[in-house]
């Protein structure tokens, strides 16, 4: 009887301590690792949420850009970090696509990470071309890409990025032969198309709309199932290329696998609150994203589903590491 009483007190003390500890979190800066360079879409979205979280939580969220290898470097950093809540990961679906293309990676998404929340969902990408390209419509681009002796090139932030899959799916559905040129991140890919080094790009609206409005790039269409409300004059590519439509990628928040449930629950609640604030919400919608904030369990289901979806595209397009 005495032993049972003592164990009960100990259990209660631990439970209370865990609750207090969760309430005191964070007591020092949180490091949010982003696997892409500053200035790109993942960075811009991550910083908008991180800034709001600082206001809500009364602490500091340091965005640490670790670009390269299509986000693999950042993922490896966080996968091996302590699960104390002070090192977290911001990642798009490249996290799981890398695992599909590179089966010998040092991490496994659903084994080494806990999905906290899908922060936002993309509505699609904008098919953009260098102004010197002799194509002012999707049909003209398709014809040019089929007839040109020297193939047109399209750039992406790296092999296995969602924009890479978009380009290869476009080739399959339109019967074109756009040649893939991988960059280390989206920023140099945008520089490449602005300079004419490459001719085609499928960027998210967040970073490309200013260039389109200034005439530095020509927009031909959007990849989503319907026209984007931000530029309703642009047709959906599916209007001209049957069977082609790709919604934009989610951007998610992850923590190392051994992170306590109390921290995961706290971070999800804070992220959901952040994406519902008008400033963050408007920033995302203007950039072509829909605020999400789904639960860890629902986000995990989305990831499992995307393993199947992206796996099929990788197989059909025969995408392999170089």
Return averaged pLDDT per consecutive 10 residues of the chain, 322 residues in all: 40 39 81 92 95 96 93 97 98 95 94 98 95 97 88 92 92 94 90 98 92 97 92 96 90 98 98 98 93 98 93 87 78
What is residue 20's predicted lDDT score, i.e. its pLDDT?
Answer: 37
Dist. CA 38–CA 227, nearest whole Å: 29
Name the fold adopted by 126-239. Answer: D-Maltodextrin-Binding Protein; domain 2 (3.40.190)
pLDDT of 185 reads 83
- Residues 77, 82, 86: CA angle, nearest 5 degrees: 85
- Outline which parts of the chain fall under CATH 3.40.190.10: 126-239
Q: Copy the structure tokens of residue 145.
A: 């890409």
| Model pLDDT, residue 313 | 85
pLDDT of residue 248: 79
Give the residue range(s) of CATH 3.40.190.150 domains in the chain.
Answer: 21-123+248-317
For residue 295, the number of C-alpha atoms closer than 13 Å in the C-beta half-sphere is 4
The whole-model pTM stands at 0.82
Nearest to 288 by CA among 155, 163, 125: 125
Q: Give dist(CA 46, CA 182) in Å, integer.
A: 23
**For residue 27, which phi and psi values (nearest 5 degrees)?**
-105, 0
CATH assignment of 21-123+248-317, among 3.40.50.1360, 3.40.190.150, 3.40.50.10860, 3.40.50.1000: 3.40.190.150
Euclidean distance between CA atoms 109 and 28, whole angstroms: 27
């Amino acid at each position: 009887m005495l032993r049972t009483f003592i164990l009960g007190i100990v259990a209660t003390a631990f439970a209370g301590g865990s609750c207090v500890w969760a309430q005191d979190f964070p007591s020092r800066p949180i490091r949010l690792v982003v696997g892409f360079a500053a200035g790109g879409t993942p960075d811009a979205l991550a910083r908008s949420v991180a800034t709001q979280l600082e206001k809500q939580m009364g602490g500091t969220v340091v965005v640490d850009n670790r670009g390269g290898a299509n986000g693999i470097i950042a993922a490896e950093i966080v996968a091996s970090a302590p699960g104390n809540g002070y090192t977290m990961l911001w990642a798009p679906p490249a996290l799981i696509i890398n695992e599909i293309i590179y089966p010998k990676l040092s991490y496994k998404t659903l084994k080494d990470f806990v999905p906290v929340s899908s922060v936002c969902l993309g509505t699609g990408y904008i098919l953009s071309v260098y102004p010197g390209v002799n194509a002012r419509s999707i049909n003209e681009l398709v014809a040019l890409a089929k007839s040109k002796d020297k193939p047109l090139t399209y750039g992406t932030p790296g092999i296995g990025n969602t924009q890479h899959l978009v380009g290869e799916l476009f080739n399959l559905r339109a019967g074109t032969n756009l040649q893939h040129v991988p960059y280390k991140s989206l920023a140099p890919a945008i520089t490449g198309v602005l300079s004419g080094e490459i001719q085609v790009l499928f960027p998210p609206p967040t970073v490309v709309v200013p260039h389109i409005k200034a005439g530095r790039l020509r927009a031909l269409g959007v990849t989503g199932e319907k026209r984007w409300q931000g530029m309703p004059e642009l047709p959906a590519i599916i209007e001209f290329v049957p069977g082609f439509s790709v919604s934009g990628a989610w951007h998610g928040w992850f923590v190392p696998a051994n992170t306590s449930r109390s921290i995961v629950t706290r971070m999800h609640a804070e992220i959901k609150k952040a994406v519902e604030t008008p400033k963050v919400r408007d920033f995302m919608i203007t950039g072509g994203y829909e605020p999400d904030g789904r639960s860890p369990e629902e986000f995990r289901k989305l990831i499992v589903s995307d393993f199947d979806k992206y796996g099929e595209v990788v197989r059909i397009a025969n995408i392999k590491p170089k």
